[in-house]
Structures are given as C-alpha cells and as structure tokens.
Chains A and B, each alone.
Chain A
C-alpha cells in the first residue's frame, strides 16, 4: 500500500474549519484514501474514505485532487472534542487483506 505524508501537528480555532492535508503521491489506481482519528486514550475511529470523488458524511468532507496525489480532510466547524490524532491511510479497496497501515498522523489541537 502507498505511503502517506502528513504534517505532524496543526492548530485550529474552535468553530473554524480544520483542513488536514495528506500527500500520497505514489497512490495506485485501485487504492482508496481512508481517514481515521484517535482521541486520547481511545481506539482509532473511522471517519471517511474515498477513491476519486469528493465525499461528505456527518463527520467530515474528503477532497481528493484530480491526480489523486493528495487529499484534504475538512472538519467544517471544529470543536474542542475534535482534538485528536488524524491518520490518513491508503489501501487497496477490495484487498484480500483488511489490514490498515497507520503512519504517525497529524495531531490536531482545537483551541
């Protein structure tokens, strides 16, 4: 699975949009982009995933560039409870292995 690159940390003001970037320049055509987050002392939580179209759910929006080499997770109105480590992961969509490979993620601090 392709490697991702994320900034180690970001700050966001409460009530503002949090935009978390992820680079995945070696992504393959059949690899999806997944986002998880991990609030302190909890297990990771699935947020959203996409292939090439932008996706939105009740938690966030995922914007994937046309060349698919990067993406941005958007939390439209960040709250203090969104303070967490956010992981961007790329994975083959219908892989025989369900495993996810986590990197270091981005620590988002909402103030």
Chain B
C-alpha cells in the first residue's frame, strides 16, 4: 500500500511569504506527526494529532506555525511570514495509534526561504 505522502517535495519562497505543506498519512492511521530537520541535525518534534485534534503542539517554535487536520486524515502545516531560519526539511509521519512508537515517515518537504 501507499506510504506517507508529502507535497510539495521542494518549496522555494521569499522571506515574509506564506507557505503550506501537505501530508497524506497511511490510510487508517489515526496519529499524525510533524517534525522538521535542519542540516546535520536529528528530526525535531513540532506537533502531533490524534484524530482531528492536536494532542501535543509543544514543539511549534512560535505562533507563525500552525497545523490542521480537519477530517482526521490529511494534514497541512502552515507557516506565516516565513523567515530564513525556517529553511529545513519538514517531515510528516503517521502511526496506527498514538501509543505506538512505530512511526512511518514520509520523505519530507524541503523548504528554502530566500
């Protein structure tokens, strides 16, 4: 079956612009996670959803970052007024349920802010 799908795979934008990154989880997976990864670093947790609700958003760096999952499947990570420091690979993962530590990751969306 299909894995976690993320679009776009690459996004180049200018400082101050608004960006949306999309994640399609594995069908039937109730938990969805967003991470971001800077060059040479491990993935950094941002937010995770159980169903439609954000169960833990403690990793969002500031209020320019927001994520939604309105129907409990597809999720969108939204970044307002992008800054050069937002440049990173944004990874999405899903899992069958929130208690499991077996996450399935997509290949990421590479965001470059000029």
Contacts and interface: CB of A to CB of B under 8 A. Distances in A.
B103 interface: yes
B45 to A, nearest CB: 5
B101 A49 contact: yes
B71 to A, nearest CB: 19
Contacts, number: 67
A102 B98 contact: no
B108 interface: yes
Contacts of A103: 42
B48 A104 contact: no
B54 to A, nearest CB: 11
B99 interface: yes
B98 A96 contact: yes
Say what secondary structure dominates the interface of chain A. loop
Interface residues of A, number: 27
A43 B108 contact: yes
Contact of B48 (A32, A85, A97): A97
8 contacts: A89-B101, A93-B99, A97-B55, A98-B97, A98-B101, A102-B42, A102-B44, A104-B42
Interface of A: 32, 34, 38, 41-46, 49, 85, 87, 89, 91, 93-105
Given A34-B101, A97-B98, A100-B101, 13 more contacts: A32-B101, A43-B93, A44-B103, A85-B42, A93-B99, A98-B31, A98-B50, A98-B95, A98-B101, A99-B45, A102-B35, A104-B41, A105-B42
What 8 pairs between A and B have smallest CB-CB spacing?
A43-B105, A102-B42, A98-B98, A102-B43, A46-B102, A99-B45, A34-B101, A44-B105
